[in-house]
């Protein structure tokens, strides 16, 4: 079972690497890693399990965060604010199109791999279309907006060695960009 001690923290070189694409069929080890990541998220949002194992309430986790430099992540959003539920694991994901309009969380972002608060707005695409594969290699197509789109883009960044605070404007960290939507 994955716990917080399995999650590497800011400063670990793996977080800055570009993760490798996977090939199908996944190995048993790769499949197990993906399932473990999904279980971690569910556990972390279960009050009893979270308390017992001292888990931060996670909505997404990417393989590089457990020191596996491969292009896969899991997301668990029981309610994304638009009445949609996402509980999925995705392999080799890519953004195939996105809106011109940006969006941001007014409270900024955090990360399971970052223990400190980093204040500042993180602008992301308001809408994204994502293609990828499930654990068995079936195609996944997702059209996302708002909070779900932000979570998926945060996890996709991890596959490219990008951290959320890389996107914060150092001069004006708390100033929304023109036209950007608050989520």
Q: Binding string, 19-58, against ligand UDB, x = CB under 6 A?
A: --------------------------x----------xxx
Give the DSSP per-residue string, the chain: ---GGGS--TT-GGGGSPPBPP-SSPPHHHHHHHHHHHHHHHHHTSHHHHHHHT----SEEEGGGGT--BSEEEEEES--SSS--EEEEEEEEEEEEE-SSEEE-TT---BTTB-S---S---EESEEEEEEE-TTS-EEEEEEEHHHHHHHHHHHHHHTT--GGGGS-SSSTTPPPTTPEE-
Q: Which is nearer to ligand UDB, 32 or 57 (CB)?
A: 57
Contact with ligand UDB (CB under 6 A) among 71, 126, 145, 158: 158
Partner touching 110 among ligand UDB, Zn ion, none, CB below 5 to 8 Å by kind: ligand UDB
Minimum CB–partner distance for residue 106 and ligand UDB (Å): 12
Q: Is 51 a catalytic residue?
A: no
Q: Which is nearer to ligand UDB, 136 or 155 (CB)?
A: 155
Binders of ligand UDB in range 82-141 (CB under 6 A)? 109-112
Minimum CB–partner distance for residue 25 and ligand UDB (Å): 26
**Number of residues engaging ligand UDB in binding (CB under 6 A):** 18
Residue 111 engages Zn ion in binding (rule: CB under 5 A) = yes
How many Å separate Cα 29 from the centre of its chain?
21
CB 104 within 8 A of CB 124: yes
Which residues form the interface with ligand UDB (CB under 6 A)? 45, 56-62, 65, 109-112, 150-151, 154-155, 158
């Amino acid at each position: 079972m994955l716990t917080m001690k399995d999650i590497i923290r800011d400063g670990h070189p793996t977080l800055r690497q570009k993760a490798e694409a996977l090939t199908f069929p996944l190995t048993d080890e790769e499949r197990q890693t993906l399932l473990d990541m999904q279980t971690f998220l569910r556990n972390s949002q279960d009050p009893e399990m979270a308390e017992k194992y001292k888990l931060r309430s996670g909505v997404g986790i990417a393989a590089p965060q457990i020191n596996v430099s491969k292009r896969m992540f899991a997301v668990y959003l029981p309610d994304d604010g638009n009445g949609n539920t996402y509980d999925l694991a995705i392999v080799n994901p890519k953004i195939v199109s996105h809106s011109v309009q940006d969006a941001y969380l007014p409270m900024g972002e955090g990360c399971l791999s970052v223990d400190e608060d980093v204040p500042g707005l993180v602008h992301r695409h308001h809408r994204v279309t994502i293609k990828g594969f499930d654990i068995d290699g079936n195609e996944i197509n997702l059209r996302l907006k708002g909070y779900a789109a932000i979570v998926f883009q945060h996890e996709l960044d991890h596959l490219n060695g990008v951290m959320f605070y890389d996107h914060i404007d150092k001069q004006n960290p708390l100033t929304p960009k023109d036209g950007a939507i608050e989520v």
